[in-house]
Chains A and B, each alone.
Chain A
Amino acid sequence: MDLSLYKSLWEWYTRHRFRLTKGERAMNAILHVNPKDNLVTCLRDLHQGEQVTLDGVTYTVEQEIPQFHKMAVENIPAGGYAYKYGEVIGRATQDIRVGEHVHVHNLESTRGRGDKVQPKEEV
């Protein structure tokens, strides 16, 4: 049996618990699920100009970002992949900079895209 999923889940359980028992009873600002992720989940509304810290690195929030939406913690070029849970969740449709809101306006799915298939000629 492949245990990689179990391990990543378990790591996540423990990381998460650790963060939230450091006396920060009020919600942590951001959650980084997997080390490979170039996105974080905002656990509360983030405001433009605000600074948030993750693993010793400070990020400046570039836009208003609603609670549970995503923020980039790496620059993602147009056409580049966005990662959450350590997996690809879509492709950037424009350059995305650190601190920007990542959602349907600059990220698109790569799956089930019948709209991208050339229509076949009628026979």
Chain B
Amino acid sequence: MKLMGYFRPNGRFGIRNHLLVIPTSVCASDTADKIAAQVPGAIAIPNQHGCCQIGSDLTLTQNTLAGFGKNPNVGAVLVVGLGCDGIQARPLAEEIATTGKPVKYLVIQEEGGTPNTVAKGAAWAAEMMRELSVQQRVPFDISAITLALECGGSDPTSGLASNPAIGYASDKLVAMGGSSILSETTEVIGAEHLLAKRFADPVQREKFLNQVRAVEQRAIAMGEDLRSGQPTPGNKAGGLSTIEEKSLGCMYKAGTSPFEGALDYAQERPRGRTGLYFMDTPGQDIDSITGMVAGGAQIVVFSTGRGTPTGSPIAPVIKITGNDATYRRMIDHMDINAGRIITEGATVPEIGEELFQLMVEVCNGRQTKAESLGHREFGIYKLTGTF
């Protein structure tokens, strides 16, 4: 199947053509915002980290920022650094520039402060925006699409209706040569034995199981009951009692395809190896979506029983709910009503087809409700505190 998208010099295809302003650290975030505010359509991501982080946390932030810049939905990038921050502007810009897309960087301390940085940055950004505006969509094969699978604000309808419908659409994409990413390691606890069987490669299976063990061990090592955070109060009010019940519903998003491998947070899948992947992300939706988009996902499908407005700065997010009442109450946010499986006897494949067709339209340019409302939630996963 052919879709229409933006060709990138590294051979990938985007379904949006964003100009992204990336602050290397929290200290540059406000300045990045001020630059983006000068140029209609430019998007600055609110980076809360990037300085005084150590080890794996610093790497997570670096990989996430680089991944956002490299995502094929981004046509051009302006990196803004403070100068003394843990993540340096120049190497980050150089890393993103390996994709062949236009990248520039600015350092606040070198420019002599905010007014100079904003003036120069806005002029550069405006020029980049004019260049992006002449780029046309061209045909490409659907196998170049990576779909991020997410659920949040879940209730029991997610596992019974919306997640199986997502699984159908994901299976269809994978069968057409595309890729999908299941995420949220916390929400695998209690279902890992079923998912592990679907990894053909024993090394990748063991990596996946270790990712799940590490999360559970983290709660145990803290001497805490995972239940204090998972399921959430909203999950429980909706009728989900335990993390196991939540996980067993969550895993239906991955359909029935075999798993090609397990990815680290923000890691891109290996070149030429399309298919279904698992990514190690937290159950917190914003951090999880951010990780998958940093890993190259161009589009997100998000299942929600309770209803949530979440979007992403650079990837369209399609909302599907299994709860008919939520669909009606949150109609401004919900793109698909899978609650009809429960209330009207619609089948999972019927709703799955409807979702797949909407995915195709959204890839070709149709805005999702989250996009049309300007939702751009962004958050980077963190394992430990700031030093």
Contacts and interface: CB of A to CB of B under 8 A. Distances in A.
Contacts of B258: 1
A121 interface: no
Nearest to B248: A85
A92 B95 CA distance: 53
Contact of A90 (B155, B156, B244, B341): B244
B159 A85 contact: yes
A19 B342 CA distance: 10
Contacts of B194: 5, 87
A110 interface: yes
A119 B226 contact: no
A57 interface: no
Given A5-B198, A89-B242, A107-B241, A13 B164 contact: yes
A111 B189 contact: yes
Interface string A50-91: 000000000000000011111000000000000011011110
Contact of B223 (A87, A90, A115): A115
Interface in B161-178: 164, 167
Contacts of A13: 164, 347-349
A12 B215 CA distance: 31
Interface string A81-123: 0001101111000000000001110011111111111010000
Contacts of A112: 189, 215-216, 219-220, 225-227, 230, 243
A7 to B, nearest CB: 9
Given A87-B191, A114-B220, A70 B241 contact: yes
B190 interface: yes
Nearest to B251: A5
Given A5-B256, A113-B225, A33 B160 contact: yes
Given A13-B164, A114-B223, A87 B239 contact: no
A41 B225 CA distance: 26
Interface in B326-383: 341-345, 347-349
Contacts of B197: 2, 4-5
B194 to A, nearest CB: 6
B244 A20 contact: no
Nearest to A24: B345
B224 interface: yes
Interface string B173-199: 000000000000000011100100110
A121 to B, nearest CB: 13
Contacts, number: 131
A108 B225 CA distance: 11
Contact of A88 (B244, B249, B305, B347): B244
B347 A89 contact: no
B72 to A, nearest CB: 30
Most chain A Cβ neighbours within 10 Å, of B215, B305, B342 = B342
Interface in B224-270: 224-227, 230, 236, 238-239, 241-245, 248-249, 252, 256, 258
A119 B194 CA distance: 32
Nearest to B171: A6
B258 to A, nearest CB: 5
A27 B200 CA distance: 40
A90 B241 contact: yes
Nearest to B229: A112
B157 interface: yes
Contacts of A6: 256
A90 B231 CA distance: 13
B172 to A, nearest CB: 14
A113 B341 contact: no
Interface string A1-27: 111111001001100110011000101
B216 A111 contact: yes
A41 B160 contact: yes
B256 A89 contact: no
Contacts of A25: 344-345
Given A2-B198, A85-B159, A104-B236, A114 B245 contact: no
Interface of B: 155-157, 159-160, 164, 167, 189-191, 194, 197-198, 200, 215-216, 219-227, 230, 236, 238-239, 241-245, 248-249, 252, 256, 258, 305, 323, 341-345, 347-349
16 contacts: A2-B198, A13-B347, A84-B248, A87-B190, A89-B244, A89-B245, A90-B242, A90-B245, A103-B239, A107-B241, A111-B190, A111-B216, A111-B226, A112-B219, A112-B225, A114-B225
Interface of A: 1-6, 9, 12-13, 16-17, 20-21, 25, 27, 31, 33, 41, 43, 66-70, 84-85, 87-90, 102-104, 107-117, 119
